[in-house]
């Protein structure tokens, strides 16, 4: 017996939390040669999309993919990203969200015993950090 993946539900809930809190939702996607994405924005094998209401149009997060229309360098593009490629979703302002482990489609559809599922859920709910920022360095000069 296979269960439905929790990934699309978690993505939708973090997205809703970001919007309700006034934060900007970003989604991190693992780049795959089969994906039709703007390659010029890929860094270290991943691309990060701003999926806020102001940045994209026609956003649909269903159980198989995330699809939206966005502008890249002034050119409008319709993107469809399979959920298997989504690495995480987070709020830009507070760097909180969910990072998903890299898993194949077969693993995503497997039944996980309760104790393993709980530890996996705890691991996935860790804060997602995008980059470290330097604090300003001030010194007194006499």
User: May I ask the CATH class of domain 7-122?
Assistant: mainly beta
Of the candidates 87, 88, 53, the residue with the CA atom closest to the CA atom of residue 70: 53
* 108 pLDDT higher than 50: no
Q: Where are the domains of the chain?
A: 7-122
* 25 pLDDT higher than 80: yes
Of the candidates 42, 14, 12, 13, the residue with the CA atom closest to the CA atom of residue 29: 42
Of the candidates 35, 9, 11, the residue with the CA atom closest to the CA atom of residue 97: 11
Are the beta carbons of 100 and 93 closer than 8 angstroms?
Answer: no
Q: Which pLDDT score is estimated for 18?
A: 94
* pTM: predicted TM-score of the whole model, two decimal places: 0.68
pLDDT tier, 75 (very low <50, low <70, confident <90, very high otherwise) = confident
* 119 pLDDT higher than 60: no
Measured CA to CA, the distance from residue 94 to residue 45 in angstroms comes to 24
Are the beta carbons of 81 and 35 closer than 8 angstroms?
Answer: yes
Q: Which pLDDT score is estimated for 36?
A: 82
Mean pLDDT of the chain: 79
């Amino acid at each position: 017996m296979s269960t439905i993946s929790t990934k699309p539900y978690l993505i939708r809930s973090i997205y809703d939390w970001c919007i309700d809190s006034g934060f900007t939702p970003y989604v991190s996607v693992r780049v795959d040669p089969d994906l039709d994405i703007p390659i010029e924005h890929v860094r270290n094998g991943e691309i990060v999309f701003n999926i806020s209401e102001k940045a994209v149009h026609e956003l649909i997060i269903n159980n198989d993919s995330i699809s939206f229309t966005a502008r890249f360098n002034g050119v409008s593009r319709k993107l469809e990203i399979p959920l298997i490629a989504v690495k995480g979703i987070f709020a830009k302002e507070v760097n909180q969200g969910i990072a998903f482990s890299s898993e194949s489609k077969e693993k995503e559809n497997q039944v996980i015993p309760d104790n393993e599922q709980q530890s996996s859920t705890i691991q996935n709910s860790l804060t997602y950090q995008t980059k470290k920022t330097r604090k300003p360095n001030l010194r007194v000069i006499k």
